[in-house]
Every structure is written in structure tokens, then in C-alpha cells.
Amino acid sequence: MSKIISLAKRRGFIFQSSEIYGGFGSCYDFGPLGVEMKNNIKKAWWDEMIKNHENIVGLDAAILMSPKVWQASGHLTAGFADELVECKSCHKRFRADEIKSQKCPECSGPLMTPRKFNLMIKSFVGPLEDEAATTYLRAETCQGIYVNFENILNSMRLKIPFGIAQIGKAFRNEITPGDFIFRTREFEQMELQWFCHPKDAKRYFDFWQKERLKWYLNLGIKKENLRIKEVPEKEQPHYAKQALDLEYKFPFGWKEIEGIHNRGDWDLSNHSKYSGKDLRYFDEETKERYFPYIIETSGGADRSFLVFLCDAFQEVKGGRTKTTKAVKEIEILLKLHKDVAPIKVAVLPLVRNKPELVKKAKEVYQLLKPHFVCQYDELGSIGRRYRRQDEVGTTLCLTCDFETLKDETLTIRYRDTMKQERVKISDLINILKEKLNV
Ligand code: ATP
């Protein structure tokens, strides 16, 4: 794991938040390559929901909401609290479900009895810090969807079954954040809420778990690193009728990456009760009025990011090329799916001491830049530059060499096979669009 973390920092994927001040509370910043890759993940999810499925619409709700929302949802009561244990000696705090003995894992001191710890992060709006001004940073994005159920239903003239998809930030005052960006206090969720008739809930629960698994597989995640775990009833969240976790085999063990829940009518019936608005759905054909059941798929953009990084990371001892001095080095290869890779194309002049070659390569770079996320690199030997691109998962490298100056062709080099192919510059945009599927 430490190698992945160090690559992420060294190559501009992820930095610790406020690093020059010693970091802050397990928060992270996504650097130049990180932001591209995270945007790619979010786009892949968004396209999957909005383009590949029917009857799903999007939403971008505010992070700050009326505190009444969190009363209705159960987040302010015991429902959204972890059991916390504190060490009597060193006062470190741990999640009770992660403690295996009666002793503090840090100093072996005695532990206090577990107590509930609410994970909502409190804040205040307006000039006064009093009860009336209290608000919370949302702990899950889906509440914005439930409170807009009626707005969306009416404005989009939808019929059950339909879905609402949303990507956005969520905040939890986690007791034990950690494992890099696996569990942080500020993170992004990608959530689909699927509204259906109660009699169809089981069928859609099964349908969506298969769809979600397929999404990860289609983006290249290895099958053997994914599994589905039924969540036993006593461990299910307070709102769930049925729950399962999609898990990934991280270097630190099998862990949840996405939760799939049958939330029943918990959310809409509670929001009806607390707001006084009847949020039941009226079926024009059957004349039935009912609370739809909600099937939720709740994944994390940051956690998926870590999945893609871990799954793609490879170290090749001795290097892949046997013709250069690199033979004795360890080469890093990031085998990211082309849709996820932060840089799609790198343009490289074979050498940089030939002005005509540099000029030509820069022209190619300018030609491609409006179409693809591109990088130009002329520093170091060509082999070293290929490895630098392999390390960040760049899908294709384009090299301008002496032949380019004669016949307006260049080579495309494929990251995973290192195979090279010669193409005409005039055909380049179309060829790349086809290869990269953009
Ligand atoms: P965990 O027990 O691992 O903290 P959870 O069961 O509380 O997760 P859910 O409430 O089901 O998680 O959230 C859905 C998804 O949101 C998770 O599968 C994960 O991808 C993401 N997520 C939740 N909490 C965090 C966090 N603290 N940091 C990063 N991602 C998170």
C-alpha cells in the first residue's frame, strides 16, 4: 500500500490536505492527475446511470439542508452513530466493532465502556451560534433526493419505476478514518435511488446488484478482487430492509466499496410524517396510492478511485524492455482502463536536440489538445519517457521521429503491450477517437 500512496503523491494524484501545516483530519486533495481521474470515474458512473439506463434523471442538491431533514432521516438519533470506546490511559478512541480485546490496541491500557458517537458534522449558518442556526454537513447525499422526490416526479412527469442519480460530497466525523483515502471525513458519493412498487423491490434489488458489479468489471477491475457480501440483519443500517456490500480485496483486506440497500418506505414515509406533505405516489392506472420502496446503490468516488489505483498498480522487476539499461530497474505500470486513465495521449519527440522534430511534435500536441487530455514531454531518453507515462497509466504514447519529418507519419505505442504502429498524422484524430472511444 505504501508504494501506491507514494506513487499517488509523487505523480500528482493525491496530496494530504493542508500538508505544509502537518495535514488535517484525514482529508485529502486530488492533484492534477487525480482530478482528471476522479472526474473520469464520476463521468463513467454518470454515463452508466443517465445514458445506459432508462428512466433515470440527475440531481445536484445543496450540501446544507434544513436540520429537520436529519431528524426525519434518523441521523440525529442513535441511528447514525457508531459505538466508540476510549482508552482510559492514552485517551485514543476506537470503533467498538474494530476492537478485538478489552485492552487498548495502542498502549494496552484499560478501555471505557462503549458509548454512542454521532457522526454528523455540526455547523452554524447566519451570525448567531445558537440552536436555531444549527445545521449539519450532509452525511449522505441521498436525503437531497428524497426531499426532492415530489419536485422531480412532477417536473419530469415520471412514472414508477424510475431513478434519481446524484454525485456529491458527504461528511462524517469518522472515529477511525484511515487506510489512505478509504475512509476519510470528507468524501464524494455516487448514489442512485430507484423508486419502485413494493412488490417489485426484491427483483430490483437483485437487478441493481448485478448492474453495479458489471460496472466495475467493465472498467477493468479484476473479477477475483470483487465479491458480494450479504449484510446480516443486526449489522444493517437503521433504514434497511435488506442490505449487501460490494467488497474489494484491498492490500489491507476485503472491504466495502458500495452498499446496495432496500430502504423500503423508511425515507418517504418519515419525510411525509415530519414535513406534513403526503409523499405517496398515485398510480393513474390502478388508482393505487402508496409509498414507493427505494432500492439504493451507494458508492464512493474516492473509494472507487482507490480501487482503480490498487487494481491497476503493477511492479515489473527488471523492467519490461530488455533492450535498454532499464533492465535492472523496477518499472511501475498503471494498467488503468482507458476511460479512467487521467492522460489519454502523450506526445513525444524522439529526441529534443533536433528543432524540426520538437516543432513537429508540438504541432501534433496542439492538434490533439482540444480533443483529448494530452501531455507533451521531451525530457530524458525516450525509454525513460515511456516509463514515466506507463507509471501514470497514459493509454497511448505518440512518438515523432525522423521519418515523421519525411512522410508525416508517427508511431502509436500501446501502454500494455508496448506494441507500436505507424499512422498518418492527418488520420490521427479519427484513429484516436476510435481507439479511445470518445
Ligand atoms: P464504512 O462502514 O466502510 O464506513 P458505511 O457502511 O458507513 O461504510 P455507507 O453509508 O453504505 O457506508 O456509504 C456508502 C458508500 O459511501 C460506501 O460504500 C463508500 O464507498 C462511501 N463512503 C462511506 N463512508 C466513507 C468515508 N468515510 N470515506 C470514504 N468513502 C466513504
- Summarised one tens digit per residue, pLDDT across range 199-246 is 999 999 999 999 999 999 999 999 999 999 998 888 887 778 899 999
Q: Which atom of ligand 1 is nearest to the CA of 300?
A: 20
Q: Which atom of ligand 1 is nearest to the CA of 255?
A: 3
- Summarised one tens digit per residue, pLDDT across range 406-415 is 999 999 999 9
Q: Which of 45, 82, 189 is the pocket-test mutation for ligand 1 (most atoms within 8 Å of CB)?
A: 189
pLDDT of amino acid 323? 66
pLDDT of amino acid 94? 82
Q: Judging by DSSP bridges, how do beta strands 374-376 and 345-349 pair with one another?
A: parallel
- Summarised one tens digit per residue, pLDDT across range 252-279 is 999 999 999 999 999 999 999 999 999 9
Q: How far is CA 300 from CA 44, 111, 239, 246, 392, in A?
A: 13, 32, 19, 11, 22
pLDDT of amino acid 382? 92
- Summarised one tens digit per residue, pLDDT across range 325-377 is 555 678 899 999 999 999 999 999 999 889 999 999 999 999 999 999 999 99
**Ligand 1 centroid vs 413 CA: distance in angstroms?**
39
Q: Is 240 in the pocket of ligand 1 (CB under 6 A)?
A: no
Strands of 396-400's sheet in order across? 374-376, 345-349, 396-400, 409-414, 420-424
pLDDT of amino acid 311? 98
**Ligand 1 centroid vs 300 CA: distance in angstroms?**
7
Sign (positive or negative) of CA dihedral 232, 238, 239, 245: negative
Q: From atom 8 of ligand 1, which residue's Cα is the shortest distance away?
A: 256
The single-letter code of the amino acid at 244 is: L
Q: Which of 30, 117, 121, 187 is the pocket-test mutation for ligand 1 (most atoms within 8 Å of CB)?
A: 187
**Ligand 1 centroid vs 116 CA: distance in angstroms?**
18
Close Cβ partners of 230 (under 8 Å, ≥ 6 residues apart) = 243, 244
Higher pLDDT, 239 or 400: 400
111 CB neighbour count, 10 Å cutoff:
19
Q: Is the confidence at residue 318, as pLDDT, over 90? A: no
Q: Is 245 in the pocket of ligand 1 (CB under 6 A)?
A: no
User: What mean pLDDT do residues 52-74 have?
Assistant: 93
Q: Is the confidence at residue 3, as pLDDT, over 60? A: yes
**Ligand 1 centroid vs 156 CA: distance in angstroms?**
30
- Nearest residue to 388 (alpha-carbon basis) of 305, 328, 329: 329
Q: Is the confidence at residue 173, as pLDDT, over 60? A: yes
Q: Is 303 in the pocket of ligand 1 (CB under 6 A)?
A: yes
Q: Which of 146-150, 296-300, 329-333 has the lowest mean pLDDT?
A: 329-333
Average pLDDT over the chain, rounded to an integer? 92
Q: From atom 24 of ligand 1, which residue's Cα is the shortest distance away?
A: 183
78: pLDDT confidence band, cut at 50, 70 and 90? low
Q: Is the confidence at residue 103, as pLDDT, over 80? A: yes
Residue 295, class by beta-carbon neighbours within 10 Å (0-12 exposed, 13-18 middle, 19+ buried)? buried
Share of the chain above pLDDT 70, in %: 97
- Give CA–CA dist 398/405, Å, rounded: 14
Q: Which of 4-13, 312-321, 370-379 has the lowest mean pLDDT?
A: 312-321
**Ligand 1 centroid vs 408 CA: distance in angstroms?**
51
Q: Which of 177-181, 300-304, 426-430, 431-435 has the lowest mean pLDDT?
A: 177-181
Higher pLDDT, 240 or 22: 22
Residue 34, class by beta-carbon neighbours within 10 Å (0-12 exposed, 13-18 middle, 19+ buried)? buried
Close Cβ partners of 206 (under 8 Å, ≥ 6 residues apart) = none
User: What mean pLDDT do residues 103-113 have?
Assistant: 85
Q: Judging by DSSP bridges, how do beta strands 81-86 and 115-118 pair with one another?
A: antiparallel
pLDDT of amino acid 368? 96
